[in-house]
Chains A and B, each alone.
Chain A
């Protein structure tokens, strides 16, 4: 078995393609577009899933909110005491947090009030004393803040409050840390004007994960106006969103792929007279059916791989550098949940295989029979001058 022969055939296949630029350009364009769309969806889903995974791993076991007239309201602290009484609950933490609109930067930040710096979903260093804040990397960059600088924010009464930056933190997930300001809980309470006996929501931790749903049921029985969210529910919601949205999208895409495969089939089986003649000549010159078939297969592979690479590369740029402007409106129904965020580059080897299997594989499968048919032209046709 010699590789040299296959190399020669590959070279010839490239020459064959390049001599028909016009004809192949349309195919490459359509193919690249199909790969681009698929890859954008896969990459975006991968990135969101990564975010979701990290968010989930940090979420409390149960989150309890209070619903007033169908909308989320402040949770009275006696709810926390009531929940603590339920057997199996290990800890209840009233949380103070909220959004802050910075008109100067036209950006929305998340302010989180904490008792201590341990147990935060991201690593934060620094010493939180009164009127001290620790800011996320993105805020620090935007507002050109360094440790020791002053940060002035307007509180709920419209008054300016001075804070001192004692630390800057970052985490792998931009979604979680970029726009966060951490401050002492009492400061946050004052800043948002939340009365002492209330909090935004309650984070409930459970000793035994198997009892999670039981405890959740008990909480909602005890507190009928509470909305109880378990980790599992959040996970299922994510899945439903991923599944449904991507399912709808996939259906549309599959239609496109099918159309494309048919287009390919149609084009590949209809050889031009000039192509037929060339293959006839090659056969007459001592190329076997297998040689021509291999050459034509290489043609398809070269075409497919180029389109694949181009499509994947463009999708990467589109999703991770441009923030998927073409896809967000279609795929991001939950964008209201997260006002603004950048997609974190997260492409795995498996993603690349996935994209390959749903683009290149159907294409190659579609051209097998036409390629074969083209390669069975009789050599004596060239001899007889047909």
Chain B
């Protein structure tokens, strides 16, 4: 379960370039549901997503993830919490091009006591599930966009998180690949995972797996649509 209470995020506070990216947002996402943050670019959905994903802390308000208040955690606890509970799929995939597919997938496990052999095994399993096991030793730059996204998904899944967060996942995909992505999300939902997607792509927010849509505009929550 994810809950935000009066969350505000301000960048460059007190300076001339002060920006209020998220303003007084309260929302709740039940476990096992698929939620969409919908809004035009600049509406604050990526920032809200980063607060939910424990990547950043709010300037004020409280964020609870899986029953724990994360808004006051020191950075090192916030990171280890994120590593264990949240998998993130970035808009630009954020893969490291010179590393192999396998090494990219195991990246989140490097600062953990898990030995390389074990994390490789896990990564290969995930890649197999996504039909990518034959690509495991390829360098990322040799892959197509759709393949890169699968690598990013595998990486988000490596620590077996209960929550998956995706930022504009279909922005760089054609319709067929976007549908494949949503199929993968469907199977993750069936495993009982909570999924939060920030998007303005109708293909995504009109999809049948979506349970709730939060409409964002100018950093504020302007509407909720439950299905």
Give A residues with C-beta under 8 Å from B: 2, 4-5, 8-9, 11-12, 15, 19, 278, 280-291, 294-295, 378-380, 382-385
Contact = CB atoms under 8 A, between A and B. Distances in A.
Nearest to A383: B50
B76 A285 contact: no
Interface residues of B, number: 36
A379 B112 CA distance: 18
A285 B107 contact: yes
Interface of B: 46-47, 49-50, 53, 55-56, 75-76, 79-80, 82-83, 88, 90-92, 94-96, 98-99, 103, 107-116, 155, 159, 167
Contacts of A286: 79-80, 82-83, 108, 111, 159
B111 A383 contact: no
B108 A285 contact: yes
Nearest to B92: A385
Given A289-B75, A384-B46, A5 B55 contact: no
Given A2-B113, A383-B90, A288 B80 contact: yes
Contacts of B155: 285
A8 B55 contact: no
A281 B114 contact: no
Contacts of A379: 55-56, 79
A382 B94 contact: yes
Closest 5 CB pairs of A and B: A286-B83, A291-B111, A2-B113, A288-B79, A4-B113
A8 B116 contact: yes
A288 B96 contact: no
Contacts of A12: 110
Given A4-B114, A284-B55, A383 B79 contact: no
Contacts of A288: 75-76, 79-80, 111
A170 B80 CA distance: 67
B90 to A, nearest CB: 7
B116 to A, nearest CB: 7
B137 to A, nearest CB: 15
Nearest to B91: A385
A383 B103 CA distance: 20
Given A285-B155, A379-B55, A382-B90, A5 B111 contact: yes
5 contacts: A8-B113, A278-B96, A284-B94, A288-B80, A288-B111
Report which residue of A11, A278, A289, A379 has the largest number of chain B beta carbons within 10 angstroms of its beta carbon: A379
A173 B111 CA distance: 53
